[in-house]
Amino acid sequence: MRQSLEREVSPLVGRGSERQIRIRAGQVQAIAELNDSKTADAIWKALPISAPASTWGDEIYFSIPVNLQGEEPQAVVALGDLGYWPPGTAFCIFFGPTPMSRGQEIRPASPVNVFGRILGDPKVFQKVRDGETVTIERAEAS
């Protein structure tokens, strides 16, 4: 049982944890960790990226120059997850319920590829407004 649990969790830990990104929008800044998925690899290679934010409930999303199909897409995500939304070629930051959520779950408009997670409190993104520029870049190794 424990081995199967480790396999399920491994995409969010393991070698991907060596890759961190900095996300900035206005006065908000956070560090996130990428997993070892193909989606994370493609986004890492596309950095740096800047785009205007759109908000949808407690989610920020914006189009990025990455075009991928679903990779184990998830219909419900966790607080702080980073997702790639294939229909909109969008980078998504989840920090609470969306208009599609039932109760306190966090539900994207449609399934997303989870490729990383915010380190620290993802609720700082509540301060980001529609149209504010979001910049994502590789974080310097500490």
pLDDT digit string (tens) for 32-62?
999 999 999 999 999 999 999 999 999 999 9
Domains by residue range for the chain, with CATH: 2-138 (2.40.100.20)
Q: What is the separation of C-alpha 108 from the centre of its chain, rounded to a whole number of angstroms?
A: 11
Do residues 8 and 2 lie in contact, with contact meaning Cβ atoms separated by under 8 Å?
no
pLDDT digit string (tens) for 55-93?
999 999 999 999 999 999 999 999 999 999 999 999 999
DSSP class per residue in 99-123: TT-STT-B--SS-BEEEEEEES-GG
Q: What is the pTM of this model?
A: 0.86
In this structure, are strands 81-85 and 113-119 parallel, antiparallel, or unpaired? antiparallel
